[in-house]
A and B are shown apart, each in its own frame.
Chain A
Amino acid sequence: MTTPVYLDNNATTRCDEAVVEAMLPFFTEQFGNPSSMHAFGARVGGAVKAARAQLQRLIGAEFDHEIVFTAGGTESDNMAILSALEIDPNRDEIITSAVEHPAVLSLCGHLEKTRGIKVHVIPVDGQGLLDIAAYRAALSSKTAIVSIMWANNETGTIFPVAELAELAKEVGALFHTDAVQAVGKVPIDLKSTVIDMLSLSGHKLHGPKGIGALYVRRGTRFRSLIKGGHQERGRRAGTENTPGIVGLGKAAELAALHMADEETRVAALRDRLEKGLLQRIPACFVTGNPAERLPNTSNIAFEYIEGEGILLLMNREGIAASSGSACTSGSLEPSHVLRAMNIPYTAAHGAIRFSFSRDNTDADVDRVLEVMPGIIEKLRALSPFWQGADKAPATFAPVYA
């Protein structure tokens, strides 16, 4: 059995050993509740404060109290949007993009259905770039909040959030960004922007699962989602997940240390894989915007075959990645991100996302380059559309469509 190759780091990352080590004492000897008056609590309170400072440095926040710890990215996204809708009754519209994570899109759909909130969904072009004219047109004095992701989880495409935030400020709207995929992979300096809120998640940057944070700029009006105790200055009630918080702090510190590696070595691995696959395999293409992209992500659409089959064959070779196909999610439609980019169905179903991390090596790339051509060829031999690399696809029009 060959060593497994993990290239699904946008789904989740391996928790760093140093992170686990930092967390462990907070399950046992450092068990105190940070709210308590006694020494048991005080020491833990100090550790939470240190973690907050570590995270503050990673995202370039001006103040440590701008960070509110949550249970993860989804909670942070929900918190930001629901808070914004409570601020001003005259502002009851949301602006978001067609390629957001379900944590945002599904909430917006729900609000539209149950509360009659007007949601402007800004389309993207074939490369996944936001339609800025449509965005400008949607902004108004009715806009409560703009929620647009920093980087897309499927294609890695980066949106110009700093500029988008400036535009939102012109109409007095709040600006939130889901930066779950960006934090730890690209440098972020919030104090030099006008972004009001930012969501992040621990397990995407080699931290533990079940912990995340919402950055809330000082002075931003905020209504808490979870009511209860005074934790997180009344912005997120519930006894702190202290091991998780300490772990996220440590993960943030390590991410800052590895940032240069991520942007050079990891990006080079990704580029070598992408180039190699495009050279070796006919009829495939990169989706998204290669010019403005996370350094770790590559999304390649292999035409005329379906993603689940590719993943199953890759899995048999010990390689983990993910797909935009409908079948892997149990839904009937392929990825909403690829569909928003107008990628044809025959390609969208065969899109595979390779997402790297600092754990990956050159050997991983070699291994994938070695087995992928055979896997694609095997499935294409089964496909009614495929007639060979030099031939046009077969005209295949099934009875119902």
Chain B
Amino acid sequence: MASSRRLSQRQVAPWLFLAPALVMFTIYVLWPIAYSVTLSFYDWNGLYDRDGQFTGRFVGLGNYRELAGDPAFTVSLWNNLKWLVLYMLALPIGLFLAIFLNQTVTGIRLYKSLFFFPFVISQVVVGLMFSWFYAPNFGLFYSLVEWITGRGVAVLADPNLVTYGIIAAGLWPQIAYVLILYLTGLNNVAPDQVEAARLDGAKGWRMLWHVILPQLRPATFIAVIVTVIGALRSFDLVSIMTSGGPFGSSRVLSYYMYEMALGEYGFRMGYGAAIAVVLFAIMMVFISGFIWRMWRQETER
């Protein structure tokens, strides 16, 4: 009798422990995803009529068809691609810095934490710092280019350069993140394998490529994931540094979506939702690989 009560307690307990988190997560994450997907088939200005009824109009694939012919969407998509590709530079640079800092001289701990600094700072602040850095006429970058070439470049006002300027700002904290991942990884490289390889005459690049990098694979894996997410989430910097300009040339999907749904162009919730669905789909392509790998690890155990 008592033991059966204990057993049923053990069946109910996990759900009681899970309930608060699951309820919150369903309300604020799972349900909104489904709702956004539904909304992307509607034309809706975000309002309800006097009786509290939803005022949206079903348009089927209309929003998506419009997206296909929308030049601003194409620009955003291209810029997202630039972000993705160039953000990957954070990996080699972070690795290089980690190797540079993986020493045991005095004060190295302080150096490591100061190198990590940019990651702790809000992207809003990072954006302001780089705006100041690029500012025409007196910004350090502007002055430097002016000094070298005789003519300054106003990065954030040039449609051809602006996205690269923002990506450079984003790389700063991202490199810091990757750096810390690799430093932790390097700390856990098996010393006996390194010594054995040294006895075999391996050093420098060969050592790095054949002995060290294979052991850094978990770190590389996480670094790729956080870098992809970082690249696709790029909203703050675009918003702070340029608001998508000049002439919409620095828009990315996340920012364009916000502009369409809440910006000065009016409340096009359905259209915004369609942009969000595209962004979500792109993210899922990358993330499903990650989930798949984790899933395999879990089920093997």
A binds B: no
